[in-house]
Amino acid sequence: MKTIKRPYTPVCDLELVPVECISDFAVILPRAFIAVRDGSYRIPVIPGSFTPGVESEQADSGTIYYNVGHTFEVALTGPDSQELLSALSLQDLVAIYTNEAGERIVSGSPQTPLK
């Protein structure tokens, strides 16, 4: 995946990829590379409503675990919107979005998906 620099724009497009639709995934240094088969969902996000969140937890063994959760409001209309969002909430997902700095971000992995 190539990082594309763009002028400041709030997140307004989010791609949610079910883990079973990922054919290849790799992390090399600070970059993630992902190949997606058909089956991802483009979700229109209301500009300014997307907030990525990361919380760290320290285990007794000294290992640090990260919980990632994103909150956002969607701009979906139509009768199928509710069913789509309900179905997505039951799947293990990886999110791909462009942040405010114009960088393409992959959040989650097949081993540690978003829920």
For the stretch 41-60, pLDDT in tens is: 888 887 777 777 666 666 56
What's the average model confidence in pLDDT over 6-25? 75
Mean per-residue pLDDT of the chain:
75
The Cα–Cα gap between 82 and 30 comes to 36
Q: Which helix (H) or strand (E) holds 86?
A: helix 81-89
The predicted structure's pLDDT at residue 11: 56
All structural domains of the chain with their residue ranges = 13-107
The Cα–Cα gap between 89 and 112 comes to 15
User: Model pTM?
Assistant: 0.69
